[in-house]
Amino acid sequence: MGIFSKIKDAIFGKKAEAATPAPAAPATTSAPAAPQPVPAAPVAISEVDVEAILSAQAANAGQPLNWRTSIVDLMKLLDIDPSLANRKELATELGYTGDLDGSAEMNIWLHKAVMRELAANGGTVPADLTD
């Protein structure tokens, strides 16, 4: 599994968990059972609000993490190792053509590319995070 897949799963998995209905409690009476309602269909993955999920997670992080602009903080927030080796792997996955040196240029490009990929894979991402 690639680094981007881990990022996507960490974010989109939160939506999938929220869309899974809780099991119904068993009836405790001996009266004839009423027809059970059909559970609603799960919410489509295309409705993942990336900003809301990350903001909620950041509020409970226990440390200030600037996930909106920092690829390192975004990865920390998602419990993914933000080491240079992992950022190099992510840069390669996403097609970065510059030096894989951990520079500010590389990190800024990575953050924008991750946000664009999340949007391309069904996430709702504010425009200011993708351009």
Is the distance from CB of 96 to CB of 110 less than 8 angstroms?
Answer: yes
Percent of the chain with pLDDT over 70: 75
Burial class (CB in 10 A: 0-12, 13-18, 19+), 15: buried
Read off the pLDDT band of 89 (50, 70, 90).
very high
> Which pLDDT score is estimated for 105?
97
Position of tokens 């894979």?
121
Is the distance from CB of 91 to CB of 110 less than 8 angstroms?
Answer: yes
C-alpha 117/C-alpha 94 separation (Å) is: 9
What pTM did the predictor assign? 0.76
Q: Give residue limits of the domains in the chain.
A: 3-17+44-121
